[in-house]
Structure 1
Amino acid sequence: MDVSLSRRRLLAFSALLPLATIFPGRAQAQRFDPSRIIALEWRPVEMLLALGIMPLAIADKRNYHRWVGEPKLPDTVVDVGLRNEPNRELMQRLNPSLFLISKGFGPAESDLKPIAPCWSTAFNDASGRPLALLEKDLIRLGQFLGREQQAVDHLAQLHQGIASTREKLPSDPRPLVMFSFLDSRRVMIFGRSSLFNDLLERLGMRNAWDGKTNAWGSAVVGIETLVRLENVTALCFMHGDDDPVKTVAKSALWQVMPFVRDGQLHLLPAVWFYGGSFSALRFCQLLPEALCA
């Protein structure tokens, strides 16, 4: 992949984003102390880290390490409580310069503005391509915080990582079914409009799940639904709790799953389903390791 070309394309694209529609004037970026930004959803956490900024605080730090995994956060990052209902008094005491929030999840912007200004991002839009939307929003955030070059450089690394992964994949891979256990009877499965599906398309692979999904690209289904998926490779994402897998593995139903019967089940460590560029890169790292093992 020509990284210099990728950077020129990103710079040309970023020039099309009118800063006036984001905040009146590039100089406004100097108002926000980057060491005092609170990110209340994990995708914005990844976006800050991509720009070389360590958040002052995040929501639900314990589960961040369980469900997101990478990048690791130091002990100095404060945990402000639940993502959908963070500790308001603690956030006020922290005196943040800015909140990063996700549209459609967590506290309303109007509830946070009395404490500090807000910058919002969305996981998805009508295009159903969350990775493409992330690329636009990372440039937008970089412009907003005066770190546009860091955004451009990071996206070049992302594109190179995707290109490198594509070269490592088998020449004729099976379609993938990707899921994570919720309990011993249900899985969360990922299809159209998911981060993983967007990545598969860029990698030249097919998603075996063509069923309905929500706006986040996922659906909750009974494990019996997986029986109909023939000639596929299964990726099961683990999050520190293997009890459901141990329970299901003993069942007769699980033994007749085509991907179990064919030896095509791979248990992978945590990758955040609704994440950003670091989640995408982690997926790209784990995928060839699983398929080429």
Structure 2
Amino acid sequence: MRIYRSQRHTASSLIGFFVALCCSLLLSSCQSPDTPPTPLSNPNDQSLPSVMTPDWGIAATLIAMGYPPVAMGDKPFYREWVGKPSIPDTTLDVGTRYQPNPEMFSQLDLDMVIDNAFYQHLHPMYGDLPIHSIELTSPNKVATWEDFIEPTLKLGEYVGHPQAAQAYLDRSQQKIAQAGQTFRARYPHIKKLAVVQFADSNNLRMFSYNSLFHPALEVMGLQLVALADGNQWGFAPIMLGELAQLDDDTCLVIVEPLSNLLKLELQDSLVWQRLGYSFDGDRQPAGKRRCVTLLPATWNNSGVASMNVLADRLTNVTFVGNTDL
């Protein structure tokens, strides 16, 4: 796969090459050992386009399909907030997602850039490179599986392998449904889940029906519960005390990262205690033991790629509190 414009190398570009290479090696030294998906075609096929994307969701979907981008933005933070699928060592980090490093970007030999509307301000930096934009989110008030089919297929078309995208969709729907069967066998009484992420000990994001969590849980045979309509990113801001509106038969799923300090602040919070939640089931109030779990980081803007991660992680987490709802 072509990465650098060797025919244009000057002394300065050679320096840029080694800087970029060193950065990539340093970052990959802490890379997760997980093996990325096997491409559906020859990975040495020189006809595959060289793609750069600043967006985590697009990068995750390309990796999951077996066609990872040559370069992406915020590679180290991807591991903390998205996690899977793991980024291959060959994918370079060009700096922050919102403002990539122009010097590093200039060293890349690319065929195209794939982004979404959030990165439109970067287009002048790309010069005459073809730019494709897709949205891995639902445009509807209530998201459905079908909302994510078209953008995934478009992504397959952009890299020249629409059949890989269709195969990925088929595999994903089957995998998510099977994960649902596993989950329901383990927790037959859990039917409804509310999914939140903490900003601090009193402010949360609650993922709503227009988020990818809704169709993913639906395919799993579960129900998402939300207290308000979501914004363009699929969540609504709520206060901690508003969780009291959840029915007792709704389990709370808290998406990480969640710092140890924040856990301690919550355990000391009178509101949290009155709600009846605890990360340690044995320490929950005797009178009210509400169902809760911590979910490893699952990005809410990666389309089907995130749905796969969500389904897999839900089958492996442990719910504490009243799971016999």
TM-score, normalisation: structure 2? 0.73
Deviates more, 1:199-208 or 1:108-117: 108-117
Report if aligned partners of 2:99, 2:122 keep a CA contact under 8 Å in 1: no
The structure number with the bigger radius of gyration is: 2
| Alignment partner, residue 18 of structure 1 | none
Name whichever of 94-103 and 33-42 sits farther off: 33-42
> 1:240: how far off?
6.2
Aligned to 1:81: 95
* Equivalent position to 2:225, from 208, 211, 220: 208
1:74-117 deviation line (CA, Å, top 9, x unaligned): 343221222222223321221321111022x1233642441521
Measured at CA, do residues 292 and 179 of structure 1 come closer, stay the same or move farther in structure 2, by a change above 3 Å? closer
Q: Within 5 Å, give how 1:1-293 maps onto structure 2.
A: 34=48, 36-103=50-117, 105-108=118-121, 110-122=123-135, 123-126=137-140, 128-129=142-143, 131-168=145-182, 169=184, 170-231=187-248, 232-239=250-257, 241-260=259-278, 261-290=288-317
Distance 1:259 1:197, change over 3 A: farther
Percent identical among aligned pairs is 25
Provide TM-score, normalisation by structure 1: 0.80
1:251, distance to aligned residue in structure 2 (A)? 1.3
* Contact 1:99 1:118 survives alignment (8 Å): yes
SS of the aligned residue for 2:120 comes to coil
AA partner of residue 146 (structure 1): G
- Is contact 2:194–2:225 with CA below 8 Å preserved after alignment? yes
CA shift in 2, pair 1:89/1:107, >3 Å: farther
Q: What secondary structure is seen at the aligned counterpart in 2 of 1:180?
A: strand
> Deviations along 1:144-163, whole A, 9 cap, x unmatched?
32212211221111011122
Tell me the SS of whatever aligns to 1:54: coil
Q: Is the 8 A contact 1:181 1:187 kept in 2?
A: yes
Give the partner amino acid of 2:261. D
Query: 4+ residue runs of structure 1 moved beyond 4 angstroms?
Result: none
Query: SS of the residue aligned with 1:94?
Result: coil
Q: Report the Cα offset of residue 33 of structure 1.
A: 5.8
Unaligned runs of at least 5 residues, structure 2: 1-45, 279-287, 321-325
1:190–1:167: structure 2 CA closer, same or farther, 3 Å change rule? same
- Over the aligned positions, Cα root-mean-square deviation in angstroms equals 2.3
SS of aligned partner of 2:63: helix
What secondary structure does 2:218 align onto? helix
Structure 1 CA distance, aligned partners of 2:295 and 2:70? 30
Quote the residue 1:28 is aligned against.
Answer: none
Q: Distance in 1 between matches of 2:258 and 2:223?
A: 28
Deviations 1:240-290, CA, capped at 9 Å, x for gaps: 633222211221211111454424110111111112323211111122333
Whole-angstrom distance in 1 between the partners of 2:253 and 2:260: 14
SS of the equivalent of 2:132 reads strand
In structure 2, distance between residues paired with 1:92 and 1:82? 15
In the alignment of these two chains, the number of paired residues is 261
The separation in 1 between residues aligned to 2:212 and 2:218, in whole angstroms, is 10
Task: Say whether the 8 Å CA contact 1:124–1:216 is kept in structure 2.
Answer: no
